[in-house]
């Protein structure tokens, strides 16, 4: 009989969407990784049902792959905008709808294993803690952002919730059959509460993220009006991604005759655009907004380098995408970026929030001072040795099978 997995995740990429409303938490690393993992597991023959957040225009339930179904779980809610979550109560709506559905289906569900994805917020933590109790099935956790190891509160309200979130994370981790951590740092912290921890980093499809044909890159640059040497930022426009550092960077690049490309959207997109206008940088900064995932390699290849001025990062998936495309990354030394870039281009890591040092390092790369370590073939080889899907799929399947076997073992007499 085919194994059946119930995936519980507030964030999941919807590849069939041609537009992504920023109010519904614009696409980021967690969305892309949960989607990619589900697709690769479906291709390996694993039946999965995903309960996640959606937005208007998407069907309530749809089949993305022969063994992959996606169901949108949201209660009706007022459209009150928030710079933190897009809409006030967005993830809370998902959590309540998901738990209610699990409670109703508890007696007639036929899933073998639950796989919950944690974003560090209370709604996902609560679902992960309660779901195995409702369905009486073993739980696998993937921790995309750990309150215990990495997360930094970024508002007074978030600070008040932080203690409860840490308590819930400890309970969820302790209740899980196994925990999948993205980095060694988080694995070490979670091992204090978990029965089993496996380091399973985010991965990248190196066939999709590869140096694109020059003609296609030129067409992308023409579509977006890029005429000069370009530095890029790819990610959600949110406080934790450090977008305010991009404004002084753009001003410094103007002095070098270079421009800044910002790819993505987010809850603070309007604030970023206003900051660009106030600084008089409209002719030197291009903001694309949301673009389809298949265009991201083109955007990265259109740039001489990518910057990641994040305040914190559990992993930093855009970095491995850029390196796979042969494009170097200058980043603040936070979270998983320290492990990823520290192994290939440590000289391009900057002390957190040191804008002047980031600008100086960007100028050095543009001047060719780090040509040896930023050789595209070297960057791509580094990714192919460490962050490709095959190892992730194999380790995830092993955890699923171990959890299933453990739950079906006869009780000892």
Per-residue confidence (pLDDT) for residue 308, from 0 to 100: 98
Tell the burial category of 215 from Cβ atoms under 10 Å away from its Cβ (0-12, 13-18, 19+).
exposed
For residues 82-89, average pLDDT: 71
What is this structure's pTM? 0.90
- What six digits make up the tokens of 148? 């215990």
Per-residue confidence (pLDDT) for residue 18, from 0 to 100: 78
pLDDT band at 23 (very low <50, low <70, confident <90, very high): confident
- Dihedral sign from CA coordinates of 402, 405, 408, 410: negative
pLDDT in tens, 109-118: 889 999 999 9
Fold of 4-203+388-408: Rossmann fold (3.40.50)
Per-residue confidence (pLDDT) for residue 85, from 0 to 100: 63
Domain ranges of the chain: 4-203+388-408, 214-386
Mean pLDDT of the chain: 92
Same fold, 4-203+388-408 and 214-386: yes
| Residue 261 near residue 299 (C-beta atoms within 8 A) | yes
Q: With 90 as the cut, is the pLDDT of residue 157 above it?
A: no
Helix axes 29-43, 317-324, angle to 10 degrees: 70
Give the span between the Cα atoms of 271 and 50, in whole angstroms.
33
For residues 278-290, average pLDDT: 96
Kindly tell me the number of DSSP H helices and DSSP E strands found in the chain: 14, 16
Task: Classify domain 214-386 at the CATH class level.
Answer: alpha beta
Per-residue confidence (pLDDT) for residue 172, from 0 to 100: 96
Per-residue confidence (pLDDT) for residue 267, from 0 to 100: 85
Give which of 30, 24, 123, 121 is closest to 82, Cα–Cα: 24
């Amino acid at each position: 009989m085919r194994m059946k997995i119930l995936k519980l995740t507030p964030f999941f990429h919807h590849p069939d969407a041609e537009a992504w409303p920023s109010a519904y938490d614009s696409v980021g690393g967690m969305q892309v990784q949960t989607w990619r993992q589900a697709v690769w597991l479906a291709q390996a023959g694993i039946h999965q049902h995903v309960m996640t957040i959606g937005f208007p225009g998407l069907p309530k339930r749809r089949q993305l792959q022969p063994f992959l179904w996606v169901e949108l779980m949201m209660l009706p809610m007022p459209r009150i905008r928030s710079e933190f979550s897009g809409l006030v109560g967005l993830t809370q709506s998902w959590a309540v709808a998901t738990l209610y559905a699990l409670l109703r289906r508890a007696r007639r569900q036929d899933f073998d294993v639950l796989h919950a994805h944690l974003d560090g917020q209370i709604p996902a933590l609560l679902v992960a803690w309660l779901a195995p109790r409702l369905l009486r099935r073993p739980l696998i956790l993937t921790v995309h952002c750990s309150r215990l190891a990495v997360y930094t509160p970024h508002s007074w309200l978030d600070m008040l919730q932080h203690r409860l979130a840490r308590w819930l994370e400890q309970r969820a981790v302790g209740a899980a059959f196994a925990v999948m951590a993205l980095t060694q740092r988080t694995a070490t912290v979670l091992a204090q509460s978990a029965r089993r921890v496996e380091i399973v980093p985010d991965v990248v499809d190196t066939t999709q993220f590869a140096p694109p044909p020059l003609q296609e890159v030129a067409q992308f640059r023409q579509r977006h009006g890029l005429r000069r040497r370009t530095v890029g930022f790819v990610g959600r426009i949110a406080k934790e991604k450090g977008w305010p550092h991009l404004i002084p960077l753009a001003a410094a690049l103007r002095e070098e005759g270079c421009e800044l490309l910002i790819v993505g959207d987010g809850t603070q997109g309007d604030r970023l655009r206003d900051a660009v206008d106030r600084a008089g940088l409209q002719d030197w900064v291009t903001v694309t907004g949301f673009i389809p995932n298949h265009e991201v390699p083109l955007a990265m290849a259109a740039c001489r380098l990518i910057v990641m001025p994040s305040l914190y990062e559990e992993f930093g998936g855009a970095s491995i995408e850029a390196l796979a495309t042969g494009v170097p990354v200058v980043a603040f030394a936070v979270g998983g970026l320290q492990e990823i870039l520290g192994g290939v281009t440590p000289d391009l890591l900057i002390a957190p929030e040191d804008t002047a040092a980031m600008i100086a390092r960007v100028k050095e790369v543009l001047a060719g001072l780090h040509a040896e370590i930023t050789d595209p073939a070297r960057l791509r080889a580094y990714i192919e040795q460490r962050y490709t899907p095959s190892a992730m799929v194999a380790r995830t399947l092993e955890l699923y099978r171990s959890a299933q076997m453990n739950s079906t073992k006869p009780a000892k007499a």
